[in-house]
A and B are shown apart, each in its own frame.
Chain A
Amino acid sequence: MARVFRFGDGISTDAIMPGRYNLTTDPAALAKACFIENRPDFHETVRAGDVIVAGNNFGCGSSREHAPLSIKASGVSAVVARSFARIFYRNAVNLGLPVIRCADLHDAVQDGDEVVVDIEHGTIVAGGRTFQGEAPSAVARRISEAGSLVDLIKNHGWAAIEEVV
């Protein structure tokens, strides 16, 4: 079972990874700074497999990939939000951090609730109910299957994307 870390609407990349903390590319160092001011106990309390559940426009603002990278390096297994900012969503897919758009989960869970996320099918079980997330685009699915954008392009080139569009 994964525990829920619940966040509200409009969580920016400045809240996930403030600009004063991302002068490094080391994932472990970034994990220590993840939500350092927005939720200072996050790094101490998050465990491998936990899930972030958020409201609207998660990851808005700066394109800094340090934000999804810090979440991934924290051990978070998936981010489920009502909506994502465009660049954050794409960055997360590129890095292999599972992201699921789901309209209803946010209102149905509390911080610390236990949930089961089926990343392959985009479903979340919480409190005995099953929530269905939106299916990713064909391109996002292709990247996720490869593990990351780097792995996809390195091993298959752009043809891997051109053949699914």
Chain B
Amino acid sequence: MGTLVEEILSRRVGRPVHAGDTVVAEVDAVMAHDVTGPLAIDAFRSLEMPIWNASRTVFSFDHVFPSNSVAASELHRRIREFAAEFGIRNLFAEGICHLVMVERGFIRPGGVVVGADSHSTTYGALGCFATGMGSTDIGVTMATGRSWFRVPETLRIEVTGKLARGVQAKDLALSVIRQLGAEGANYLAVEWGGPTVSAMGLSERLTLSNLSVDFGAKCGLCEVDAKTWEYLHLPDGGDLRPSQASYAGVLRVDVSDLEPQVSAPPAIENVRPLSELAGTRLDEVFIGSCANGRIEDMGIVAGMLEGRQVSPTTRTIIIPGTRTAYVQALERGYIDTFVRAGAVVMAAGCGPCLGRQHGTLGPGERALSTSMRNYPGRMGSPDAEIYLANPAVAAASALAGVIADPREEN
């Protein structure tokens, strides 16, 4: 009974809990990556406690992988040594942590997962209460298997209408951020629902849950249906939906007339219709990230780049989010298409999203990215500009060398 987050946390603690209550709850898995991991290890070691469960503890090498510096290699070494000492075998260097967590079976509908990365909200698409935390919280969970949560109030986003061709989940999320602002859901659970979300595939729902944190949400949940279980290759465990829920707010969105959206610098809530920004010159296009780095995103891009050439004045970087997505892209000929089109394809990981390696922006440079953050300095120089959009817009823009409308492509 209640909102999705109330339902999940009530089941977990074995008594009915409601928004405003604070609970200490067991988690199903705990994750850190190559940048947040070492600080989590420091916190864990300070506790002088044994590890809670090595098989539910995950480290992902993705933010700087392969390492690009002595400092990054040093962080990786510290994680490997820690894992060896405590018998942790879940050391993954096969792509972006949030996609790997899903692929590797750590996420279950109705579960509770915490990660030392803000986009841990991504798992909410699978009906899992999942939230990002800092390294200290994660180190404590590695030792105890638990964390504390204030049960959040819920903002329900009820979505109706059919998305037009070239318009995707990313555009829905950006249009919501335009309406609510960058802290519009601060401390709240966001519940994505309605017929449009039910009709979406899981790849698109994962984009919605991913971007939920970028307007402040503690978690971004989608209802569980047959598609959820199928995506996870699990027998159907039944639906999970809110019932008799009391919401802090309900936002109704009709996407029938939505056009592609672009978040313009200097902040994510500066969202404009694509038509207002078309023609803006670009120095870089990045396609990938935990928002839009799945095989479905790669397929959209390959379909548009097939047999064509990206603009010679724009560096185009494409990164399948995981090794699995990379192999699928190889098998389907997408990688061949990307390379022949003149794009640079890089190893599965976070890539340019956080400005630490590959395509770091210089002052005055302008990028369009399928990632989710455009704060000044995010991808390199604080004097660079970052525009955020869906993969189809990114592909059309890579071809044109300027922000371009995919609906004008054949």
Contacts and interface: CB of A to CB of B under 8 A. Distances in A.
A95 interface: yes
Contacts of A158: 24, 144, 146, 148
A36 to B, nearest CB: 9
Given A25-B39, A57-B216, A161-B148, A14 B136 contact: no
Interface in B213-269: 214, 216, 218, 267
A65 B75 contact: no
B137 A19 contact: no
B275 interface: no
A88 B360 CA distance: 25
Interface string B182-211: 110011000000000000000000000000
Contacts of A148: 136
A6 interface: no
Interface stretch (B40-48, B279-287, B293-301, B396-404): B40-48
A38 B266 CA distance: 13
B117 A63 contact: yes
Interface centre among A57, A63, A69 (most CB of B within 10 A): A63
Interface of A: 10, 12, 14-15, 18-20, 22-25, 37-38, 56-57, 60-66, 68-69, 83, 85-87, 90-91, 94-95, 137-139, 148-150, 153-154, 157-158, 161-162, 165
B72 interface: yes
A161 to B, nearest CB: 5
Given A57-B183, A148-B136, A23 B46 contact: no
Given A86-B218, A153-B47, A15 B148 contact: no
Nearest to B68: A23
B377 A38 contact: yes
A63 B133 contact: yes
Given A38-B377, A69-B39, 6 more contacts: A22-B35, A85-B216, A91-B136, A137-B150, A149-B136, A153-B47
Contacts of A37: 376-377, 381-382
Interface string B19-41: 00111100000000001101100
B395 interface: no
B130 interface: no
B378 interface: yes
B36 A64 contact: yes
Contact of B39 (A62, A65, A137, A161): A65
Contact of B376 (A15, A87, A149): A15
A150 B47 contact: yes
Contacts of B43: 149-150
6 contacts: A14-B375, A63-B36, A64-B35, A65-B39, A91-B137, A153-B47
Nearest to B152: A86
B188 to A, nearest CB: 9
Chain B: number of interface residues, binned into ranges = 35 or more
A25 B214 CA distance: 26
Contact of B35 (A23, A61, A150, A161): A23
Contacts of A153: 47, 140, 143-144
Contact of B24 (A14, A15, A95, A162): A162
Interface centre among A15, A69, A139, A150 (most CB of B within 10 A): A150
Contacts of B63: 19
A66 B39 contact: yes
B216 A95 contact: no
A138 B72 CA distance: 38
A154 B49 CA distance: 8
A69 B139 CA distance: 15
B182 to A, nearest CB: 6
Contacts of A161: 22, 24, 148
A19 to B, nearest CB: 4
B69 interface: yes
B140 A149 contact: yes
A37 B377 CA distance: 8
B140 A15 contact: no
A153 B46 CA distance: 10
A18 B183 contact: no
B134 interface: yes
Given A90-B137, A150-B47, A23 B183 contact: no
